[in-house]
Amino acid sequence: MSTDKINMVDAPDGYTGQGFFATKLDSVVGLARANSMWPLPFATSCCGIEFMATMAANYDVARFGSERMSFSPRQADMLLVMGTISKKMAPILRQVYEQMAEPKWVIAVGACASSGGVFDTYSVLQGIDKVIPVDVYVPGCPPRPEQILDGIMRLQEIVKSESVYRRGSEAYKDLLNSYNIK
């Protein structure tokens, strides 16, 4: 439609003025999602201790709306994988990921979860992205709580900017298919 055919009308009484602004549905949903991501802490070793500090009063992950830990995958939005993941444990991690409802996101916290870390051995998974998709990688062995918060804030930026419908997009379906996840 050409722009000269668009008629702008005035808002009805009571729907203008201070306290009102126009925005996109994507932005509102993204803002709400980004500031209420419930974490599922999948902690297997030392990096998990750093996350405990991140939850405590000094760093206070509640400032980001993420203080409500969920140990049920059904009620979690953000899977935080912290620690060494052995190859034996990989199917369990994948099962937990699959049980999470959409939309869901993953942070690999620390060197072990991101790449296997110093454990370049036959028994250790060389990065959780071998079995599940990862949105943010936090470096360090261990990462400090500030780095974990930085990872959460980076994920918030991703969540704010992605489309409400991203989860139904072809690109996302292709990503899941590449992991053979239905």
By the rule CB under 6 A, 93 interacts with ligand SF4? no
* Interaction pattern, residues 121-150, with ligand SF4; x per rule: CB under 6 A: --------------------xx--------
Q: Is 92 annotated as a binding residue?
A: no
By the rule CB under 6 A, 30 interacts with ligand SF4? no
From the list 41, 83, 127, 151, which residue makes contact with ligand SF4 (rule: CB under 6 A)? 83
DSSP for 85-142, written as a single string: -BTTTHHHHHHHHHHSPSS-EEEEEHHHHHH-TT--STTB-S-GGGTS--SEEE-SSS
By the rule CB under 6 A, 117 interacts with ligand SF4? yes
Q: Is 47 annotated as a binding residue?
A: yes
DSSP conformational letter for 43: E
By the rule CB under 6 A, 52 interacts with ligand SF4? no
Nearer of residues 33 and 54 to ligand SF4, judged by Cβ: 54
Q: Is 46 annotated as a binding residue?
A: yes
Q: Is 112 annotated as a binding residue?
A: yes
How would you class 164 by CB atoms within 10 Å of its CB: exposed for 0-12, middle for 13-18, buried for 19 or more? Answer: middle
By the rule CB under 6 A, 112 interacts with ligand SF4? yes
Closest CA to 149 of 61, 69, 46, 74: 61
* SS3 state of residue 48: helix
- Sequence-distant (≥ 6) Cβ neighbours of residue 65 within 8 angstroms: 35, 36, 37
By the rule CB under 6 A, 45 interacts with ligand SF4? yes
Tell me which residues touch ligand SF4 (CB under 6 A).
45-47, 83-84, 110-112, 117, 141-142
Which positions make up the binding site?
46-47, 112, 141
